[in-house]
C-alpha cells in the first residue's frame, strides 16, 4: 500500500498551529497531513487482533521503505526501524492491534471485519508514529542521534507484545523511550503528562471451586459451593483493603461468576474471575502470595475444593521525572504554551510498562476529543476520535525525540 493509495481526497483535518517547532516539520505536515489521515483510515478499516497484524505491519513497512528507510520485521508481526546515527538512541513506540468488538460508528472507513474494530485508538497511534518516522527520515542526516520506531503487536493481550519486542532485541542500545495513548477525555491540542505511575499493574484471577454437590434442603451434608463463591466475592476485596496500603491504588473487581443450573441443587463446579490492579510496583510483587493466603483462609471453613490461577499481567507504567519533563516540553514546543497538562493515574493496564523495566521513559495522553458532544470512552463500540489530533501527536513525538537526543 503506497502513500498515494491511502491519501483521502478530503482529509477533514486541520493542523493546530506550528508551536515553536522547526520549520522543516511545519512544512512536512503542511504537505502530508492528508497522508496521516489516510494511513489512520486504512488501518481503521482493516483492523487485526493481537499477533495477527499482518496487513498493518506490511503497510507500515512499505511506507517506511518508500522514503528510504530499512525496517526490520519482528518474528510474527510488528517491526522496528532506525533513523539516523549516533551514540544515543531514543525509541518511539506505537501499538497496532485492534479489539474483538463490533464498531457502531457510521463512517466511510468503518471496520470491514465483523467483530473486530479499532476502539482504543491504536490506529491513530500507528499513523502518528508513521508520520513521525517519515518526517524524521527527511532530515535523517541532520539528527543528533538515532531514533528507533517501534511498531508493537499485541498490546491488548497479557502479558503483552512489548515482551515480543524486547525478546527480539528491539530495545538494544535504547537510552529512552516514549509513547502516546489516545485520551477521549482530553481535548485535541492537549497532551497529558505525569511523573510516576500513569497506569496500573493488571493481573487476572481465576478461581475454580469443586463440591460433591447435593440438594439445597441439606447444605450441611455437602459443601455449599455458591455460598463459598459469595464468601470470596465479597471477602477477598474487603480483606485486601485491610492488608494493602490504600495509597497503592489496589483494586479487585470480579467480572465473571458461573455456577449451577437449578435452584434446588448445590452445584459441583463453579468459577470466578476478575482483575486485580495496583499502581505501585512493590505492591504488585507482593500481591500473589497475599491473595493465595487470603483465599485459603476464606475457603477453609467451607469444605469446598479449589484451584486458584493468578496470572501476572503487566507492570504499572511509571514515568521517570526526566522523561515526563521532556514529554511535557515536547508538547509545549509542538502546539504552544498550555498544551501540556497534568493527568491522573489510571487503573487501566498498559504493557508499555515492560519497556520501563529496562530503560527510562514516559507515556503521555494525546487529547482526541473535539471539545463538543459526548466523550465516548475507549473500548466502547462508539469510540471515535478527532483526526486533528494526528498532527499534534506527530509534532509531540518528533519533539520528544529531538529534545532527548539534544539533551
Residues 95/78, Cβ–Cβ less than 8 Å:
no
What is the pLDDT confidence band of residue 17, given thresholds at 50, 70 and 90?
A: low
Q: How far is CA 269 from CA 54, 197, 302, in A?
A: 40, 39, 14
Mean per-residue pLDDT for 68-75?
Answer: 98
Q: Using N-to-C axis directions, what is the helix angle for 122-137 and 389-406, rounded to 10°?
A: 50
Mean per-residue pLDDT for 51-66?
Answer: 98
Q: Which residues of 343-380 are buried (b: 16+ CB within 10 A; e: fewer)?
A: bebbbbbbbbbbbbeebbbbbbbbbbbbeeeeebebee
At 338-372, the pLDDT tens digits run 999 999 999 899 999 999 999 999 999 999 999 88
Nearest to 350 by CA among 169, 108, 152: 152
pLDDT of 10 over the 60 cut: no
Mean per-residue pLDDT for 282-299?
Answer: 97
Mean per-residue pLDDT for 73-86?
Answer: 97
Residue 398 and residue 25: Cα distance in Å, rounded? 9
- Of all residues in the chain, what percent carry a pLDDT higher than 70? 95
Nearest to 266 by CA among 303, 310, 308, 321: 303
Q: What is the pLDDT at residue 19?
A: 67
pLDDT of 233 over the 90 cut: yes
At 199-231, the pLDDT tens digits run 999 999 999 999 999 999 999 999 999 999 999
pTM above 0.85, yes or no: yes
Residue 129 and residue 133: Cα distance in Å, rounded? 6
Domain ranges in the chain are 3-198+317-406, 201-314
Residues 225/266, Cβ–Cβ less than 8 Å:
yes
**CATH code, 3-198+317-406:** 3.40.630.10
Residue 243 and residue 99: Cα distance in Å, rounded? 35
CATH top class, domain 201-314 = alpha beta
Amino acid at each position: 500500500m503506497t502513500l498515494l493509495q491511502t491519501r483521502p481526497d478530503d482529509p477533514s483535518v486541520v493542523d493546530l498551529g506550528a508551536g515553536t517547532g522547526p520549520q522543516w516539520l511545519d512544512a512536512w505536515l503542511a504537505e502530508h497531513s492528508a497522508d496521516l489521515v489516510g494511513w489512520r483510515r486504512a488501518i481503521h478499516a482493516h483492523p487485526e487482533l493481537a499477533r495477527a497484524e499482518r496487513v498493518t505491519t506490511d503497510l507500515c513497512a512499505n511506507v517506511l521503505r518508500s522514503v528510504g528507510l530499512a525496517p526490520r520485521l519482528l518474528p510474527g508481526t510488528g517491526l522496528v526501524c532506525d533513523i539516523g546515527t549516533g551514540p544515543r538512541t531514543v525509541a518511539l513506540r506505537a501499538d497496532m492491534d485492534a479489539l474483538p468488538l463490533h464498531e457502531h460508528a457510521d463512517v466511510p472507513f468503518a471496520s470491514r471485519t465483523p467483530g473486530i474494530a479499532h476502539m482504543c485508538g491504536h490506529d491513530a497511534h500507528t499513523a502518528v508514529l508513521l508520520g513521525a518516522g517519515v518526517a524524521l527520515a527527511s532530515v535523517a542526516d541532520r539528527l543528533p542521534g538515532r531514533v528507533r520506531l517501534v511498531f508493537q503487536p499485541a498490546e491488548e493481550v497479557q502479558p503483552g507484545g512489548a515482551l515480543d519486542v524486547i525478546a527480539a532485541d528491539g530495545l538494544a542500545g535504547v537510552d529512552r523511550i516514549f509513547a502516546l495513548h489516545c485520551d477521549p477525555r482530553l481535548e485535541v491540542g492537549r497532551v497529558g503528562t505525569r511523573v510516576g505511575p500513569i497506569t496500573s499493574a493488571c493481573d487476572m484471577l481465576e478461581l475454580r471451586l469443586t463440591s460433591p454437590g447435593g440438594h439445597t434442603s441439606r447444605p450441611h451434608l455437602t459443601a455449599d459451593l455458591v455460598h463459598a463463591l459469595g464468601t470470596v466475592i465479597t471477602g477477598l476485596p474487603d480483606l485486601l483493603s485491610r492488608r494493602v496500603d490504600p495509597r497503592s491504588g489496589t483494586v479487585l473487581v470480579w467480572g465473571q461468576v458461573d455456577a449451577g443450573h437449578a435452584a434446588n441443587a448445590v452445584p459441583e463446579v463453579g468459577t470466578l474471575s476478575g482483575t486485580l490492579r495496583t499502581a505501585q510496583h512493590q505492591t504488585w510483587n507482593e500481591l500473589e502470595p497475599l491473595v493465595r493466603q487470603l483465599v485459603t483462609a476464606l475457603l477453609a471453613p467451607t469444605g469446598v475444593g479449589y484451584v486458584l490461577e493468578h496470572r501476572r499481567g503487566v507492570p504499572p507504567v511509571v514515568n521517570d521525572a526526566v522523561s515526563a519533563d521532556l514529554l511535557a516540553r515536547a508538547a509545549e514546543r509542538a502546539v504552544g504554551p498550555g498544551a501540556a497538562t497534568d493527568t491522573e493515574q489510571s487503573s487501566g493496564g498498559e504493557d508499555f510498562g515492560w519497556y520501563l523495566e529496562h530503560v527510562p521513559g514516559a507515556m503521555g495522553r494525546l487529547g482526541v476529543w473535539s471539545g463538543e458532544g459526548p466523550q465516548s470512552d475507549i473500548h466502547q463500540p462508539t469510540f471515535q476520535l478527532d483526526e486533528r489530533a494526528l498532527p499534534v501527536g506527530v509534532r509531540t513525538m518528533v519533539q520528544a525525540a529531538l529534545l532527548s537526543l539534544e539533551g
